[in-house]
A and B are shown apart, each in its own frame.
Chain A
Amino acid sequence: MPTCREVSRAVAAGEVEVAGVWRRIGIRLHLLLCRHCRRYAAQLRALGEAAGQALSEEAEDRARIARLCDAILGDSPPADDLEPEPEIPPAQEGGRPAPRTPESRSGSDLEPGCKKPAASRTHGT
């Protein structure tokens, strides 16, 4: 069975998932029996989860994202001068085909992260 040093190393370096079968079994068995290594592994997991949560909350700042999108795409010619819109219309979630007016098509197939905060989406409405 691997030692605590080996187990903690494998856990921190993310080697457990890619290890061979026997090594993985050895590590699992060690973790089952050793509360120190178990705590170590749990703490690293908590660390990863906390980092993920903190950052995904920050990235929710839609206004900042929209501003950046504008800055990057702003100097590309407006959509009307470009090639036709993608021929395949975006899936209609509501089942109601939106009329393809200039207003409606500008944002129709954007991914959620980059949509401009339209008037109806701003806080407090």
Chain B
Amino acid sequence: MNLSARFTTPRLATPHEIAAEAIRRRDPATLRRVTEKYLPQVLRAARGAGLVAAQAEEVTQETFTTFLEIAPRFEGRSHVRTFLFGILYRKIAEARRGRARERRHDPIDDVVEARFSPNGSWSRPPEGSDQLLHTHELRRFLSDCLSESPASQRTAFHLREVEGFSTDEICKILGVTATHLGVMLYRLRNRTRECLERKQRGAGHADVP
């Protein structure tokens, strides 16, 4: 017995529902449009998660192949973009063979904690300028420093900073709670900042390899 069907009045389908329906029945033109629209973003996110170019392309291709296969299962409760990035994230996790579970303990937590005195104020305040490094140096060191973090954290960071996804969407894609997402971002940002600070300290004296 479907109660909701009994109590809802007939209404016109929204554009979102029409699109979801077209995706479900694998309307070729619709699938093509979705692929063409989101492929650049998906590729960029795969790179952002730390995959090398060839690997990123492979994972992107697998993501869309899977999308075309499982399109009938798209329920339309979330945006097709969220659906796609969810597939991408699982493909990345597979490629890395790393399960997405966030470690309970991460060494970066201790590193950050050691910068504060017991009363909660900085005992070792952040060094350097507000920009951390000059633009070109920042560019040069950034990918090194980002690669110190696991793919799950990098994906979260990428979706937030590069694609500008909402907390809600990122949580759906990664299958985590908002608190958990906060921990991931906190760890990645601190680890990367600490790394850049080290590079900057080194750059002051000699050329860093």
Q: Which residues of A contact B (CB under 8 A)?
A: 3-6, 8-9, 12-15, 18, 36-40, 42-44, 46-56, 58-59, 64-65, 68-69, 71-73, 76-77, 79, 82-83, 85-86, 109-111, 113-114
Contact = CB atoms under 8 A, between A and B. Distances in A.
Q: Interface size bucket, B side?
A: 35 or more
15 contacts: A3-B119, A12-B185, A12-B186, A13-B185, A39-B128, A44-B193, A47-B193, A49-B161, A55-B47, A65-B40, A65-B43, A68-B39, A71-B61, A72-B39, A83-B27
B135 A50 contact: yes
Contacts, number: 153
A1 to B, nearest CB: 11
Interface hub of B36, B57, B192 (most chain A Cβ within 10 A): B36
Interface of B: 27-29, 31-33, 35-37, 39-41, 43-44, 47-48, 53, 57, 60-61, 64-65, 68, 112, 116, 119-122, 125-126, 128-132, 135, 138-139, 142-143, 146, 157-158, 160-162, 167, 178, 181-183, 185-186, 189-190, 192-193, 196
B181 to A, nearest CB: 8
B125 A6 contact: no
Nearest to B196: A47
A68 B139 CA distance: 27
A51 B162 CA distance: 7
